[in-house]
Structure 1
Amino acid sequence: MSKQYSALRERMETRTLDNGLRICYLPKEGFSKTFAILAANFGSVDASFTCEGRRYDTPAGVAHFLEHKMFEDQDGNALQKFARTGASPNAFTSQTMTAYHFSCTDRFEENLEILLKFVFTPYFTEENVQKERGIIGQEIGMMDDTPGWQAFVGLFQGLYRTHPVRVSIAGSTESIAQITPETLYACHRAFYSPKNMALVICGTADFDEACRIAAQFSPQDAPEIGRRHYGTRRETVNELTVTRCMQVSQPQFLLGFKDIPLEPDESRLRRSLLGELAVRILCGDNSPLYASLYEKRLIGRDFDTDYTVIPEGAAAILGGESRDPEAVRAAVEQEVARLAHEGADHALFSRMKKAVYGLHLRVLDAPESYARQEVGALFAGEHYLDFAALFDTISPDDVQAMFARWARRDRSSLSVVEPQQ
C-alpha cells in the first residue's frame, strides 16, 4: 500500500507478509546511502513472560545478551559477511526494542539477505554463550563507571517499585552468569516471531524486491508472541531521592515526573509529542525557567529534557550537571505547580510547539533516525509521519492537564550522582 503525506512532501510504501512481518519503505530519492533496520518488539523490560503455556522469569539483561549473540551463525559471523559487501552494520537494545541495522551505498539486496538470515536463525552453544559473558561483563563494567548512566538507572528505581524498567538494560555480571543457550532460544521463539517484528528501509531500493527477499528469508510460521508481565503499578513514586557517589567533579542529576500509563486506545505517538512539548515548555532551552536557572548557574549547557513512554508507564525526564540539584528540583516543581494552575503562556506554547514540530521535520532528512522512529511507531500500530496531523490536535488544555498530573503529591523522583568525599 502506498500512502502520500503531501504536507510533508513524503510518501511511504507498506506491506504485511503472510507470516505477519511488517515492511515499510521510506523513499529518499537522491540520497547516496540506504538504511535498513529489522527490529523486534522486545526490550529489557520484557524479561518475564508466558509463552506456549510456560512462565519464564529470565535473568536481567537477556534481551541485550541475545542481541550480541545473534550475529554468530554456524557458517561464520554476520559482521564479517557485511564487511565483505562494504556495508556498515550495528545493533542496539533499548528498554522496549531490539534492533539490527545496516547502511550501504550498493549491494542492498545482498546485505538485506544477510540481515534477515542471521536475525531469524539463532545459533547458541554453551561455548559461545560463555565467551560472550566475558565481553558483556566488560561492557557492564564500563556502564557502571558512567555517571550519566547511573543517574538514569537510579531515576527509574526511584520512580517505580516493581516495574522491570528499574533494571539496567545490560543487567549485571551476576544476572548474565545465569543466561544459558536454552534461555536465549526461549526468548528468540517468544519474541522474534515475524508478527512481533518490523523491517523499515529508508533510501533508494526496489520495494517489491525487498518484500520478496523478506518473504524468502523470514520464517513461514509465526509462533505466538510471549505474554509479558510487568508487576503491579501504583501512582506514587517509589523513592523521592536516589543518591549514588562516584568520581565526578560536581553532582549530576535527573529529575523525573511519573505520568500515567497509556489508555487502551490512546495514541502512543500523540502522547510522546504532548509529553515532549510539555517538558520543553516547563524547562526547555528557550523557556523562562531555563533562563532563570542558567543565570543562577544552577544548570549548564548539558541540561536536557525528554519524555519517555514504556509499557504500563511514562515519565518526563530532565537533568544535567548542577552544583545544587535540590535547588533545581524545588524550582522545577514550583513551576510545574504554577503551570498546572495557570496554564502556559499562549506565546510560549505557540513558540515551543513550532520548535518541537521543526525538530521532527529535521528527522525526515536523517534516514537512520527516520527509520528508527518509524519502527517504534509501527509497534504501536501507527506511522511516524502521522506526527504532523497529531500536532494539530494538541491544545494548551492538553498540556495543562499533563502538568496537573505531574503536580500531584509524590509524583517526582530525583536521582543524583554526587562527588565522592
Structure 2
Amino acid sequence: MIRKSKIYKYLAFTFIISSVFGISVYSFLSNRHQAIVKTKLLYTFGLVDNNWEIGKQNQKYKMLSPTFLIDEIYKSMEGPKSSRYIQLSPNEDLLWITGFEVKAVDAKTNESISNDFICHMNVDINDVNYYTNWDLKERIGKQYPRLTSLSNGFESYNYPEGYGVPIKGSDYLYITSQALNHNYPSILKKIKHEVTITHEKYNGTQKPLLSKTVFIQLPYNKNNPFEGPLSPGSNQCIPVETKNHSYMDKKGNMLSGHWVIPKGKNTYHSSISEQLDLQDSLRLHFSAIHVHPFATSIALYDKTMNQNIFKSAISNYKDKIGLIEIAPFSSKEGIWLYANHDYELVLEVDNTSNINQDMMGSMFLFFYDAELDKKIKQ
C-alpha cells in the first residue's frame, strides 16, 4: 500500500508540473486569448462578479455587465468580455426598438467613467426565429445575424423619429460587451458596462428598418500574409491575424476585415455591393459605424455615380489613443440606393503614433423595410 506521504508528494509533483505547463502555454497565447483565460478563471473562482444584472424600466431595458478587470493594455478586440441572451418582454407584444446605449461605470460605485474602457457592444438576433415570425424565411442565413454594434466613439444612438426595429418582446437578443484599454499600462481597475435598449409599443405608425452589415475587406498574400512593407496605394493589407475576420472571395483570393495600418495617412476601400445584395431599390435612413482609433473619416461611396452617398467625420483625441466621436448618417426622409449601382466603403486613416496600429471599417446600414411593413400591417 502506498503511504499517504508518497501520495501527497505525487499530487504536489503533478500540481507543479501542470502549473508549469499551464503557465508556459499561457505565455504563448495572444493578448486576446490570455484575456479570455484570465476572465474565465476570475469568474470560475468567484474573484470578481460574473453576473449580468437586469433592471427593466418603462420603455428602457437596462442591464449591467459582469465585472471586467482592467490590468494591462487591451487594444481593440483584446479585452475581457461577456455575453448573455435577453428578452425585452415575457410576452409576444410587438415592440419597436428605437435606440441603444453603452457606457462604462466603476464596478464598486456604478458611477460613470471614461468611455476609453468601451471596446464594443454587439446585438445579435436569431435570424431563424426572427424571419420565421414574419414569414420571411428566404432572408434566413443571407448575412451574419448582427443587428447593430456600439463602440468607442459611437456609444449611443437613436433611429430617426418614427423608425425602428420591430421585434416580439419574447424574441431573444444576444448581447456581447467587451472592455478596452489603449492608454493605461499600469492599472488595476474593475469596471462594468451599462447597456440600455430603448423601445416602445407599436401604435400602427412606426416604420420598420432592415439592417444590412457591410465592411471593408482588403486582399492579402495568403502565402506570406505578414510580409511587409506594402506598396503605398496598393489597397492591400497585412492582416492582424488570419484565423479571425479572414475571408475568401470567389476567385480564391484571401481578404481580411482586420488589418494593420502603418504610420501616416492612408486610404482604404473595397466593394460592398455583394454584401448589400440589393434586389431592388432601398431607402437608407441610418448608419451605425464601427472603426478603430486613427480613422479620420468613412464614406459610403456610389461608384456608379462617382459620388459619396454620405461621409462621416471621425474625431480622435490628441493626447491619447481613442475616438471622441463618429458622426452617423441619420435621415427621416432617407436616401435611395439602387440595385444596378456599385457601392464601396472608403476609409481614411492617419496613424499619428510611432507604431503600427490595427484597423477595421464597417457600417450597419438601416433601410426602410416595405415588405415587412406590409406584413406587420396585415
TM-score class, shorter: under 0.3
TM-score scaled by structure 1?
0.24
Query: TM-score normalised to the size of structure 2?
Result: 0.26
Name the structure where strand makes up a greater proportion of residues. Answer: 2
Q: Which has the higher contact order (CA 8 A, sep 6+)?
A: 1
